[in-house]
Amino acid sequence: MRQLLPYALMICCGLPLLAHAGPDTTIYITRDTPLARTPVIRLEWQLLVNGMPSQKGVLPVVTLSARHPTPVNVPAKWPAGNDELTLRLIFRRPSPATGRARGNPLFTRQILVRPWKGDYAIPPTGDLSFTDSNDIFTITSANAIFRFDKQTGWLLHYEVNHLVLVDDSAGLRPSLWPADSTVPHLQLFSTSTGSQLVIVRSEYTLPEVSCLLHMSYTMNASGEMLVGQSLEADSTRQSPALPSFGMNWTLPARLDSVAGYGPPADSSWPDIFHASVATTPTTPIRWMAFYGGDKKGIRITADSNFLVLRTSANRLELQRPMPHYPLPYGNYQYCYKVSPVLPASPRVAKRF
């Protein structure tokens, strides 16, 4: 088993500093503002995994030194994996007799222990079969159907657990700007087939901006799909601007509810949120699930670049967060994972 690294955190002037330390998870607290007049505190802590409380505890009485930072051991254990970890610290005044909380918190701090690293795993989950006829490449399993047009490279049909998520070539397409003049021209369509995983790749030219567009889809029998998109600029030329870098997805109208993990509009710290499709926030998100009244739907998970998801009616736009548009001439890439949401799934119950 891999040994998890310990950390030391310093709470100083309201700003946390992160450094490696000894065998314990230790925070160092100074009696600076707002603790200048508070020699004794009660410290409540939570470890959040992708915004969900995972571990918590209380140190009822902590005596702070007036001369130097006070080390305090927090018995949190960092789980392995790519999940984002945040340590939330709540500082309170304790009751002198019991150590219980007295009054409102003095202040709360959150410390990013491990940033989001994305979810790229598409594990084998069963047998796949595939057919190639009439320029249509079809992949089927007991739970899913994928169908691609070999003449255009686009995903024509995507169905999982009897829920149709794409049913024509406009259902999932790159978002290019300006749309009327930046038209992808298919140059190559290829497949890598296996009994439990299939990869479909397509390559397009964008002559208007002297770029290549690369698309890839990796699929398993459960209906999971990893979608990759990249723009490759011509190093011998300089175009004044690149197209917008994203994808449009026309979702079924019945997927009218959203749950996700990202920073709300009024906060820089990510949190779990719930919304309707019409009120979905446009801040960078780690994952977002779209579902209907029966809790069936899809979950879209970002790579380490995050995603900006904008919705209009039942049209979803997925983009990698960029500083501005049009984009500076260069190379760009991102990917995202699509997973089915089922009402009986333990992970869905935990998230929702």
Say how many Å lie between the first and final Cα of the chain, rounded. 31
- Which uninterrupted H or E stretch holds 350? helix 346-351
How many angstroms separate the Cα of 327 from the Cα of each of 78, 93, 99?
38, 51, 56
Contacts of 294 (CB under 8 A, 6+ apart): 343
pLDDT in tens, 52-80: 889 999 999 899 888 888 888 899 888 88
Surface-to-core class of residue 16, CB atoms within 10 Å of its CB (0-12 exposed, 13-18 middle, 19+ buried):
middle
Q: Within 10 Å of residue 187's Cβ, how many Cβ atoms?
A: 12
pLDDT in tens, 146-186: 999 999 999 999 999 999 999 987 788 887 766 666 789 99
pLDDT at position 151: 95
- Span 11-40, average pLDDT: 62
Contacts of 322 (CB under 8 A, 6+ apart): 245
pLDDT at position 207: 85
Dig out the tokens for 160 from the structure: 């999982």
- Span 117-123, average pLDDT: 88
Contacts of 215 (CB under 8 A, 6+ apart): 153, 174, 201, 202, 203, 204, 227, 228, 229
pLDDT in tens, 294-351: 888 999 998 887 887 776 666 677 776 665 556 777 788 888 999 998 775 434 434 3
Distance, C-alpha 69 to centroid of its chain: 36
pLDDT at position 257: 85
Distance, C-alpha 251 to centroid of its chain: 19
Contacts of 327 (CB under 8 A, 6+ apart): 241, 242, 243, 244, 245
pLDDT at position 324: 56
- Which uninterrupted H or E stretch holds 348? helix 346-351
pTM of the full predicted structure?
0.79
pLDDT at position 1: 37
- Span 6-24, average pLDDT: 41
Contacts of 246 (CB under 8 A, 6+ apart): 174, 175, 308, 317, 318, 319, 320
- Span 112-116, average pLDDT: 88
pLDDT, greater one: 84 or 283: 84
pLDDT at 16 over 50: no
pLDDT at 210 over 80: yes
Longest CA pairwise span in the chain (Å): 81
pLDDT at position 221: 97
Cα(306)–Cα(263) distance, rounded to whole angstroms? 11
pLDDT at position 332: 84
pLDDT in tens, 40-56: 889 999 999 988 889 99
Cα(267)–Cα(151) distance, rounded to whole angstroms? 46
pLDDT at position 183: 84
pLDDT at position 13: 36
Contacts of 160 (CB under 8 A, 6+ apart): 143, 144, 145, 222, 223, 298, 340
pLDDT at 10 over 60: no
pLDDT at position 142: 95
Contacts of 297 (CB under 8 A, 6+ apart): 163, 255, 289, 290, 291, 340, 341
pLDDT at position 18: 37
pLDDT at position 66: 85
Which of 217, 248, 250, 204 lies closest to 146, judged by CA?
Answer: 217
Task: Yes or no: say if 65 and 31 are a contact pair by the CB < 8 Å rule.
Answer: yes
pLDDT in tens, 226-277: 999 998 988 887 666 666 678 888 888 888 888 888 876 666 778 888 877 7
Residue 186: strand pairing partners? 204
